[in-house]
Amino acid sequence: MMRSDRSWTSGERFGRLAIMEATETKIRAEIASERRELADALDELTDQQWNSATLCSGWRAREVAAHMSMGFRYSFGRTALELARAGGNLHKMTDRLARRDAAALSPRELAAALRDNAHHPWKPPVGGLETALGHDVIHGLDISVALDLGRQVPEERLRIMLGTVSPRTLRFFGADLEDVELRATDLDWSYGRGTQVVSRPAQELLLLAYGRKLPTGPLDSRPAR
């Protein structure tokens, strides 16, 4: 069992402070900027890229983009109805809607759904504004990393997200990091107290903490000293 929930590194404390110090207005501004930037990136995708696989298993860029805007396009009542149709299975519902909407909406419409709703107040059912920001950041990386777009999440946005990493996050997203320490090579941040150290840029470590598998390159993993 990871010991990091009781013994934080200075990097973890910094991440927590980043969230505490970020005002609601600031986080909302970061959410809006993330959505607009992602919309701009999506506008540049070719047809082949729109149909390419992402870090979300089984979803192309089309399905990920459709999923990201689902909260803007579906009312609470309609979402509840769709969930009932899925037998209460949230994952089944989101997968079905993402595939259906990806087929029905054009690439231009999918990008516009993010841009036009940059300031939409939607939040996931569980979690606050940081979770809403995380939804956009992680799914944006699902697309940009898999398609090798070279997009870098701005540092302040990234620090807020790193501050959300916790044992609960790892469990929810199925990230198996037992006996592993994550150590960023580009920021003063680390997580965990495992005997194996994984050293990568913070953006990549964030994806690992959210249960993603990086598309290329072996992990720099070595025994802790």
Residues 6+ apart with CB under 8 A from 99: 63, 66
Residue 20: predicted pLDDT: 57
pLDDT digits (tens, 9 = 90+) for 10-39: 455 555 555 555 688 899 999 999 999 999
The pair of structure tokens assigned to 18 is 């980043």
Reply yes or no on whether the pLDDT at 215 is more than 80. no
Residue 102: predicted pLDDT: 98
Q: Directed axis angle between helix 24-43 and helix 61-68, to 10°?
A: 150
Amino acid sitting at position 156? E
Rounded mean pLDDT of 207-214? 92
Tell me the percentage of the chain whose pLDDT exceeds 90. 76
Residue 1: predicted pLDDT: 32
In order of 56, 77, 134, 198, the CA distances from 175 in angstroms are: 14, 32, 16, 14
Under the banding of pLDDT at 50, 70 and 90, the label for residue 2 is very low
DSSP for 103-159, please give it. HHS-HHHHHHHHHTTTT-----SSS-HHHHHHHHHHHHHHHHHHTT------HHHHH
Residues 6+ apart with CB under 8 A from 17: 163
Rounded mean pLDDT of 45-53? 97
Q: Is 190 helix (H, G, I), strand (E, B) or coil?
A: strand
pLDDT digits (tens, 9 = 90+) for 105-152: 999 999 999 999 999 999 887 778 999 999 999 999 999 999 999 999
